[in-house]
Amino acid sequence: MLRPLRPLVDQIVTVWTIKLHNRMSSSRHPLAALCQLSATADKRANLRTAQKLLEEAKRRGARMAFLPEGFDYIGSSAAETLGLAETLAGETVAQYTQMARKLDIWLSLGGFHERGRDWESEQRIYNTHIVIDNQGEIVSTYRKCHLFDVELPEKGVSLNESAFTIPGDSLAAPVQTPVGQLGLGVCYDLRFPEFSLALRKSGADILTFPSAFTEATGAAHWEVLLRARAIENQCYVLAAAQVGRHHAKRSSYGHALAVDPWGAVIADCGGERAGVALVEVDLEKIRTVRGNMPLQKHRREAGFYASPESPT
């Protein structure tokens, strides 16, 4: 499905492209760049890697690039995570707005560690998905509303996101981008089908779930959940991902994935290293799939599903 292109200079990044086209920049459909990172607590190193990915994405003709949850950093403790947090007006977001403007590319930055309300007294953060246009303007933000509080002792998974994160209190309306109408989620939101359905009903052509799935949950559920959300909503699903070891206690599954509206996987960045995959977003394919199987037309009113009746 994918073939590696030339590695970047430091050989830490691999670039893939779909075999269907030899010259991606001449494609008649807009290109999206799906990025995979191995973030640590070193913000500058993370930024350098992301910049190389974004420069290569632009060189290959991408109109919009997608970075994963924790693109700014992944701390080794709650204290380190909070200590590195910034506001939307801070240095990290400023660097990405400059990059978007310089490269003339839209950015989806999934999972920024944003200082929360009453920061001085509460010391809590939001997990914020930011969309920046090619002029360097923030055009949408969504604060993750489903927090990952999960204990799986048999699989070595123990994370309590709500210990230091404030859940968002609303969904963000889909935003018009060069690759289509984009519905914003973050990682664990993927597991709640009603979340995706609400975005689909609001006009989303693409659902995006920037993530840092654990190795255990990723191996079990990552692909099947992404494909399910694509199939039931007849949308493209783009899921940038973290990969590999972040620190001694945490590593991520990787496999940044793109799925088409029929549920076919059209890009997979693998489970080993940082990289970027370029994919076409064919909006006509969405219309065709929805027209041939009109799920929204066949869906009953919400109240129909609310209270199943006992058989008589």
Catalytic residue set: 69, 144, 187
3-state secondary structure of 53: helix
User: Helix 43-59 crosses helix 91-103 at what angle (to 10 degrees)?
Assistant: 20
Q: Output DSSP code: residue 221.
A: I
The set of residues, in sequence order, having a beta carbon less than 8 Å from that of 27 and lying 6+ positions away, is 21, 61, 280
User: Rounded CA gap, 237 and 264, in Å?
Assistant: 10
User: Rounded CA gap, 176 and 204, in Å?
Assistant: 9
Residue entry with tokens 């779909």: 18
Distance of CA 284 to the CA centre of its chain: 23
Of 232, 239, 243, 249, give the one whose Cα is nearest residue 289: 232
Of 42, 66, 23, 16, give the one whose Cα is nearest residue 238: 66
Q: Which residue pairs, CB below 8 angstroms and at least 24 apart, start in 287-296?
A: 289/234, 289/261, 289/262, 290/234, 290/261, 293/234, 295/232, 295/234, 296/200, 296/201
User: Rounded CA gap, 259 and 196, in Å?
Assistant: 14
- Residue 132, amino acid: I
Distance of CA 130 to the CA centre of its chain: 10
